[in-house]
Structure 1
Amino acid sequence: MPSNPAARTAIGPILLSAVESLESPQRRLIDDDLAASFLPWNARALVRMARAGWLRRAMVAASDRSGPGLWAGIACRKRYIDDKVSDPASEIDAVVILGSGLDTRAYRIARYGDLPVFEVDQSASIDRKRTIVERALGAVPASVHLIGLDLEREPLMNALHSNGFRDTGRTLYIAEGLTQYLSPAAVNDLFAQLRQATPGSRLVFTYVRADFVDGTDRYDCDAVYRRFVPRLWKSGFSPEHLEEMLRGHGWRLIEQAGPSYYRDTYIRPTGRPLSASPIEWTALAVRSD
């Protein structure tokens, strides 16, 4: 297990994906049949137990008591990003996943073709990912490129190009559950690096609200604030000012997905009494000409 505290948070979202995928097709918020196989043995045992509906409901209820809306919010952000990957209108030539953690997206993509996917994370996390993938799948698919990189200190684009990446203008960059763990300086450096992306490239990323990170508004999520903000979460954005920030880095905001979007698009069709947290949002942007 990596010693970096942020890296240790990778298990939670993939455990959530594995449990959520046990719901019936009409009720699930996300469909990820690889998630369980990427977990350590004790978490896989918990997923097997969660085949019982009462235990899944208890897990969701426990999550909502400690962090109201986080279960649905994390599931919906994953669903939103999956939708952007599979959108036929996107015409994607490559995918770059920043802070990939234990995410299975690259390996679900590899099932259906040879679309190049570049997974970027800290070297210890990438080493762990390689071991997990080899255990779960036998080998890392040839189309998936694992890149060890410290985004706090090392330039992104140099590392990508050194590993065979070529941006045609139809690259989808993904940063899910990443920006809040970087320092403000590293976030600024990351967007400065992404300014080098070819016009037409797209970026989908999640962020925590700045007023939650600075403690101005805790949105009735005191337990989440105490658990994450003092030790782990360093950066946030304001939904109202995100467009201006992106424009300054050469990107144009296309849309933002927050709790009301998740409710109307993903949660309501399931008929489940869930709500998404207001503290985390997802944004989609395109590199401007």
Structure 2
Amino acid sequence: MGAQATQTAIGPMIIVAADQYEASPLVRDDWARRVLPWGGRIVAESARWAPVRRMLMSATDKRFRGGWSSFLCRKRYIDDQLVAALADGIEAVVILGAGYDTRAYRIPELAHIPVYEVDLPTNVSRKTAALRRAAAGVPANVTLLPVNFETDDLTAALGAAGFDGDRPTFFIWEAVTQYLSESAVRATMEHLAGAAPGSRLVFTYVRKDYLDGREMYGAEPAYRDLVVKRGLWTFGLNPDDVAAFLDEYGWHEIEQVGSLEYGSRYLVPAGRNPTVSPIERAVLAQR
């Protein structure tokens, strides 16, 4: 994950920040705009006007049909699973590839739970500066941990940061796997294979048939940019192969969700257009 990939953390958070100006945001996040760099804050602030929001949504969906709703729904889904897991006794949270994610700051149930935000050194530096600007700095229960998934030992880095592997932990791996090599994905899963019993994992992945160019799903411009031109998206899975992939590392698939589930659970009840990109799917698993 290089410098180009780090910039992709900004776009989805702008979408979340813009959605706060809707009558009923899918994800309630007062932190989203505050942690963005100044350019992102300007765009997010301008989205208070409905015509600007519609313009941003149209531009996103022109490149990635259903992408706007997909970004919001995946975040809402992960939030729901995290809150449910905390109620069931999860004792720690590890966010892999945290970017500008704000869960540790906006979800009240996490206030006294150790949270480890793992990301590239550049992103950790930017996040630290953003928290100093937006608040009093990094909360005492949160550790920002610089790790390159391609080259660093995640197990050693977490251990050195004080992570207790005997605690049931909720691992979040949102919108990251597609940017990694298969060897890096599997190395990370090797670490997760040592998680305590009762731990849970939510991760997202991009469909392999899209990365292979066999099915475009209405996202040809994104394919030409992210896959062909810049080579940022490299790893994918077939939905039917996910359970076996998890089983290799001692995890059990609880459920797998995508466009249909997002539409029926979140968009239709909110009176929104249920069009969601099917390219990216989310998986909930347990040890």
Kindly state the Cα deviation for residue 195 of structure 1 after the two structures are TM-superposed: 0.6
Instruction: Give the corresponding residue for 1:52.
Output: 49
Instruction: Give the corresponding residue for 2:262.
Output: 262
Q: Partner amino acid for 1:243?
A: A
CA–CA distance in structure 2, aligned partners of residues 91 and 55 of structure 1: 42
1:73 matched to 2:73? The reply is no
After TM superposition, what 4+ stretches of structure 1 lie above 3 angstroms from structure 2? 109-112
What CA deviation, in whole Å up to 9, does each residue of 1:67-110 have, x standing for no partner? 10111011000000111121154322000000001111122246
Contact residue 94 and residue 167 of structure 1 kept, 8 A: no
91-100 vs 38-47, which moves further: 38-47
Q: What is the DSSP-based 3-state SS (H/G/I as helix, E as strand, rest coil) of the residue aligned with 1:75?
A: helix
Instruction: Give the corresponding residue for 2:159.
Output: 161
Q: Partner amino acid for 1:56?
A: R
Alignment: residue pair count: 284
CA–CA distance in structure 2, aligned partners of residues 160 and 40 of structure 1: 27
Contact residue 195 and residue 250 of structure 1 kept, 8 A: yes
Instruction: Give the corresponding residue for 2:138.
Output: 140
Instruction: Give the corresponding residue for 1:208.
Output: 206
Contact residue 91 and residue 168 of structure 2 kept, 8 A: yes
Instruction: Give the corresponding residue for 1:237.
Output: 237
Q: Partner amino acid for 1:11?
A: I
Kindly state the Cα deviation for residue 167 of structure 1 after the two structures are TM-superposed: 2.8
Instruction: Give the corresponding residue for 2:17.
Output: 18
TM-score (normalizing by structure 1):
0.94
TM-score (normalizing by structure 2):
0.95
2:29 to 27, 32, 52: 32
84-93 vs 105-114, which moves further: 105-114
85-94 vs 247-256, which moves further: 85-94
RMSD: 1.5
1:98 matched to 2:96? The reply is yes
Contact residue 84 and residue 90 of structure 1 kept, 8 A: no
Long gaps (5+) in structure 2: none
Kindly state the Cα deviation for residue 3 of structure 1 after the two structures are TM-superposed: 6.4
CA–CA distance in structure 2, aligned partners of residues 78 and 180 of structure 1: 17
CA–CA distance in structure 1, aligned partners of residues 145 and 40 of structure 2: 26
CA–CA distance in structure 2, aligned partners of residues 108 and 48 of structure 1: 19
Kindly state the Cα deviation for residue 211 of structure 1 after the two structures are TM-superposed: 0.9
Kindly state the Cα deviation for residue 40 of structure 1 after the two structures are TM-superposed: 1.7
Q: What is the DSSP-based 3-state SS (H/G/I as helix, E as strand, rest coil) of the residue aligned with 1:103?
A: coil
Percent identical among aligned pairs is 43
Long gaps (5+) in structure 1: none
CA–CA distance in structure 1, aligned partners of residues 109 and 226 of structure 2: 35
Distance 1:90 1:276, change over 3 A: farther
1:179 matched to 2:180? The reply is no
1:63 matched to 2:69? The reply is no
